[in-house]
Amino acid sequence: MNSINPKNEYIPLRISISLRRDTLRLLSEMASDMGLSINEVLTFLAEDSVIDLELDEEFNEIKIPNECSLEELTEELRRRKST
């Protein structure tokens, strides 16, 4: 995969995730079909999901709360849609 940052490198990251049994079975079959480990498949899926995203300077000003109510979220979406 191509990266915008030429100094980009793989960083080992140990994580624990919970998957449904069927999801794990499908990932395992996918990995086997591709001759890869499940770890490699998850790495590729994670990278592919964000590869086209670029950091946008205007996002630096956005503050994301730890939590909000459904009403607050709905109101914020309405406000942004009207502007």
Q: Containing domain of residue 26, as a range?
A: 21-82
pLDDT tens figures, 34-72: 999 999 999 999 888 887 776 655 666 667 778 888 888
24 CB-near residues (< 8 Å, 6+ apart): 38
Say whether pTM exceeds 0.75. no
What pLDDT does residue 4 have?
58
Q: Report yes or no on 11 lying in a domain.
A: no
More confident residue, 66 or 4: 66
Domains contained in the chain, number: 1
Q: Are 19 and 28 in contact (CB under 8 A)?
A: no
Q: Report yes or no on 2 lying in a domain.
A: no
Q: Report yes or no on 1 lying in a domain.
A: no
Q: Report yes or no on 57 lying in a domain.
A: yes
**Percent above pLDDT 90 for the chain:** 33
- Rounded Cα distance, 76 and 73, in Å: 5
Cα distances (angstroms) measured from residue 13 to each of 10, 16, 63: 9, 10, 26
Q: Report yes or no on 63 lying in a domain.
A: yes
Q: Report yes or no on 32 lying in a domain.
A: yes
